[in-house]
Amino acid sequence: MFCPNCGTDCREAKFCPECGTDLREWNGAGGAAPSDVGGIAEFAAAFDIPIGRYDGTFGYVELREAEMLVYKKVLFKTLETAIPYTDIAAVAYQKAEGLGSGFLSVRSRQERFVPLADGSNAAGDKTALVFGSQANVPMFQVYQCLHAFAERNHIDCTAADIPDQMVSSGAETPALSEGEPDVDACPVDMGEYFARFNPNRVAAVKAIVQETGMDMRLAKELVDREFAHRQKTLYAAQPDAAMRDLKRALNPKKAERDERRAELDKQGVVYCPKCLSTSITGDKKGFGIGKAVVGASLAGGLGLMAGNIHAKKVRLTCMKCGYQWMAGKK
């Protein structure tokens, strides 16, 4: 475990070798020790982590199975810092505005008393990553993922509080200029647009403009503010949603297909492995199972023949895309 006073890795010691803190009575005031959360693998397994690399300026953040890695180049040095998910103490994010830079800052259990980086020192901080506006969306979702871990860890890091000038959500709406309409007065059901497009803010803005005729800039301000508020509420209640939405932000089409496939599998519905259509026909050497087995369940409908499908080598055909496969294989 790590000393709650100085952050030293004390392993199995009863007293901290650096500051002498008695570790026997430590009950988690600084957060649960790694040994108290059931192990890193078990801890991380509670989340569907969107494993991958997320690029910033002169570096990247990589989410792994049990830890995150911050890789960056500072002058002539290469810095690599790995932090187990169980050791994430605090996370902050600020989006990039215009040609300026945004940043993601992380503090581990060992460095929980070190103030989080801000715009003035993020470039040189070993666990902070600077990025441009093109990375705002993925980095915001990475922030939400890491924040979910920090919330679960409950590590006391009061000295690493987010500075007042830092926008942790990265989505505060700038004040409207004099004479401009107030977004609060706009009769748009943002709950509907959030349900349809979250976390894709660009698509939501385009839809609002096309469907309501709202000014593009006003629609963007409305979406930024409302999505930030709703995401904060959603992710606090459902940490897994932050992981899901990161996948949606990076590859919306793949994420949609994966979610659709998971839902069909859960329902036990027969579907085309190529296009996911549930309009399926089946035959065995001229014997027609049905002209259109639509959404048949493996537990009923076509499932009534589940015991015979493999023996009879039934060939299934998708009525939408024409793909064919043998029952039991995809």
Q: How far apart are CA 231 and CA 91, in angstroms?
A: 16
Q: In this predicted model, what pLDDT tens digit does every residue of 167-220 receive, in sequence order? A: 444 333 334 444 444 445 556 888 899 988 888 888 899 999 999 989 898 998
What was the pLDDT predicted at 174? 39
Residues 243 and 273 grouped into a single domain: no
The whole domain housing 311 covers 267-326
Q: Residue 232: name the closest of 126, 327, 148, 290 by CA.
A: 148
Q: Give how many domains the chain has, as a whole number.
A: 3
Please report the pLDDT score of residue 52 as a whole number.
87
Same domain, 111 and 137: yes
Q: Are residues 197 and 303 in the same domain?
A: no
Q: Are residue 113 and residue 49 in the same domain, yes or no?
A: yes
Is residue 130 a contact partner of residue 139, using CB atoms and an 8 Å limit? no
Q: Is the bond preceding 50 in cis, omega lying within 30 degrees of 0?
A: no
pLDDT in the model for residue 44: 60
Q: Flag whether the pTM goes above 0.75.
A: no
Domain boundary among 117, 145, 160: 160
Residues 156 and 73 grouped into a single domain: yes
- For the chain, what is the mean pLDDT? 75
Cα(47)–Cα(243) distance, rounded to whole angstroms? Answer: 7
The pLDDT averaged over each successive group of 10 residues in the chain (330 residues) is: 61 71 53 46 66 92 92 90 92 90 92 88 93 89 87 73 45 41 62 88 90 90 87 81 77 76 87 90 60 43 40 80 82
Within this chain, do residues 196 and 290 fall inside the same structural domain, yes or no?
no
**Is 17 part of a structural domain of the chain?**
no
Same domain, 281 and 232: no
Let me know if residue 178 belongs to a domain: no
Residue 202 in domain? yes
Residue whose C-alpha is closest to residue 66's, from 90, 82, 79: 82
pLDDT of residue 288: 46
The pLDDT of residue 5: 56
At 180 the pLDDT is: 45
If asked whether residues 154 and 52 sit together in one domain, one would say yes
As beta bridge partners, residue 52 has 63
